[in-house]
Chain A
Amino acid sequence: MSMLNAASPRRAWLWTLGGVAILAVFLFPVYWMVSASLQPDVDSVSVSWFPAPADLGSYERAWRTTLPGLRNSIIVSLGTVAVTLFVSVPAAFALSRLDGRIVNVALLAILVAQMVPSITLLNALYAMFSALGILNTYLAMILANSTSAIPLAIIVLRSFMVSLDSEVLEAAVIDGATLWQRITRIVLPLSRNAVITASVFAFIFTWGDLLFGLILTTQSGMQPVVLSVYRLLDQPTIDWSTVMAASFLTSLPAIALLVFSLRYVQAGIGAGAGK
């Protein structure tokens, strides 16, 4: 693309300027969230464009409101990752080794599963969990979130595992390794990037989920953090400083996780895309 798309040096700065304008459009809400969270007791009129002097008072309030939610979300998200991996790793490995009709049918089923709107599933899931007496439990939220995390995890893992060398695996068979040993000692270590990618996706989707939490919890002590932010909007007068501080606290773990795992995720997706 080198010569064809090179902007002439004099006009290049105009392009950079345009780029900065585009960035502004995308970063403004993020800036606004952080900026407003650092100003005490703001509403749309009193808020100023720069948080000077910065005030951490709203973080104190937000921290108190969101702390139980943060704890719940961490438990539910980690639980979902665990269930998702436990179910998806063996299935993805099998689908990467098997061939023929069964693989096509399974992949089609996964595709259809990804299309199903959560609300369609939730009508019956709510009735089912209510009958089982597990509403307002971590288990209910972990199971529900896993149903939407598993299909994607299987696809990510399988597209990587297809490239695993079958010679290595068959060598282990000769050595007398059981299927389970082969998965834990060979397949998992070799698929590290894909496993991390699938885990990060499962964690982040669960972290950001509003609907499962909204429907499956009725006690405020059990609600995930996204839901506690949403509940703050239910008040007759909304304390925007606190809402924005709570929003930022809620975004932080998701952003941090992705930034720290970016290296593995890129490798995981890259390897899958090559197939």
Chain B
Amino acid sequence: MTASTAVAQPRTVPAARSTRRGRTGLGRRVRRGYLWLLAPAFVFMGVFFAYPLGYGVVMSVTDFTAATFISGEAPFVGFDNFAAVLSSPLFAVALRNTLLVTVCSLAGQLAGGMALALYFERRFPGHTWMPSVILVSWLIPLVITATTWRWILQENGAFNQVLGLFGIDGPAWLSEPSLAIWAVIGVNVWAGLPFTATILSSSLRGVPLELHEAAVLDGAGYWRRVWSITLPQLRPVISVLVVLGIVGTLKLLDLVLVLTGGGPANSTQTFAMLSYIRSFREFDFGAGAALGNILLAITVVFAIVYTRATRGEQRG
């Protein structure tokens, strides 16, 4: 760092040139050089990302099965795959579960993360190092977290043993069709909380102290200040967390795969799970691709609607 700045200092000529031209007036030759630097990324993402995405759309309107890999033939079937997928009773289950998991996880992670951030904002012995220890649970790969929870949540598992201390006879969380989805949500919230809390806590430090002091002088209590000062000040961060949360949870797959495998009795199927099962267990790639594209469409719509909504709020 120091070495290269030292080299640069005596050269006033290029400095003067750069200020005259500014950042908008890159020479055409320089500009072309930079465009070349984009080429590897453009080619790589074009070949291994954009092309498969487009090909996925093609697959979703063809009868693409395991036989296709041998014969190379995938007859065009129009929207048959979409019709088949939409009319399947599992579609409604997956739709309900995907939305339920997304909304509840988001609410749980934001509320819980905010609570944790506010808790550790207090001054008490341990308030500085405790939050970093919590992050340890976030460092464990999600699949491993899910594996551990799958065991803890068994009927005679550790969670129910703890409940037993309070005289509660807990059920088999992951094999009860009405409960399993809530267990999935619970584990997902648990897994996401450390990250959310850390982001919120670092943003809390950015809220100007004067705002709080002025409010105290006006006689505002703690919760009033949280509601009227802290939350509005954190709105941009919360917006980002909401988008990340929606986009991240809509595609939830590995957690479900490990915890329940979509069961019991299909009660924890999500869109991503269904797409995986149709393609890679039933080898109906056309239907799997159709589901994958519906999921992608929902994700993009969510993201656009939310971004528009918050932008409108900020203007108004």
Contact = CB atoms under 8 A, between A and B. Distances in A.
Interface of A: 1-2, 4-7, 12-13, 15-16, 18-20, 22-23, 25-30, 32-33, 36, 44-45, 47, 83, 86-88, 90-91, 93-95, 97-100, 102, 106, 109, 112-128, 130-131, 143-144, 146-147, 150, 154, 165-168, 170-171, 173-174, 179, 183, 186, 189-190, 207-208, 210-211, 214-215, 226, 229-230, 233, 238, 240, 243-244, 247, 250-251, 254-255, 258
Contact of A30 (B136, B288, B296): B136
B11 A174 contact: yes
B148 A247 contact: yes
A211 B254 contact: yes
A95 B212 CA distance: 40
B166 interface: no
Contacts of A36: 151
B36 to A, nearest CB: 7
A251 B53 CA distance: 32
B143 A117 contact: no
Contacts of B272: 117, 119
Contacts of B17: 170
B44 A87 contact: yes
B235 interface: no
Nearest to B252: A117
Interface in B113-167: 116, 119-127, 130, 133-134, 136-137, 139-145, 147-152, 154-158
A18 B119 contact: yes
B275 interface: yes
Given A12-B125, A123-B285, A171-B11, A117 B52 contact: no
A232 to B, nearest CB: 8
B275 A229 contact: no
A66 to B, nearest CB: 12
A237 B296 CA distance: 37
30 contacts: A1-B123, A5-B122, A7-B122, A7-B123, A19-B120, A23-B134, A25-B190, A26-B133, A26-B136, A26-B137, A44-B154, A44-B155, A44-B158, A98-B26, A99-B26, A113-B45, A117-B251, A120-B275, A120-B292, A120-B295, A121-B52, A122-B292, A127-B68, A127-B285, A168-B4, A179-B37, A189-B4, A208-B143, A214-B257, A243-B147
A97 B251 CA distance: 34
A230 B133 CA distance: 27
Nearest to B212: A4
Given A124-B52, A247-B147, A251-B139, A179 B33 contact: yes
B49 interface: yes
Interface in B240-272: 247, 250-251, 253-254, 257-258, 272
A27 B216 contact: no
Given A7-B124, A124-B53, A124-B56, A190 B1 contact: yes
A211 B144 CA distance: 14
Contacts of A94: 34-35, 37-38
**What DSSP secondary structure best describes chain B's contact surface?**
helix
Contacts of B79: none
B87 interface: no
A143 B127 CA distance: 43
Contact of B23 (A99, A120, A258): A99
A87 B209 CA distance: 43
Contacts of B38: 90-91, 94-95, 106
Given A22-B134, A119-B275, A174 B14 contact: yes
A125 B22 CA distance: 43
Contacts of B56: 120-121, 123-124
Contacts of A124: 51-53, 55-56, 59, 289
B31 A170 contact: no
B84 interface: no
Contact of B5 (A5, A15, A33, A168): A168
B239 to A, nearest CB: 14
Nearest to B140: A251
B127 A32 contact: no
Contact of A6 (B41, B123, B148, B151): B123
A125 B52 contact: yes
A151 to B, nearest CB: 8
Given A98-B34, A117-B296, A29 B145 contact: yes
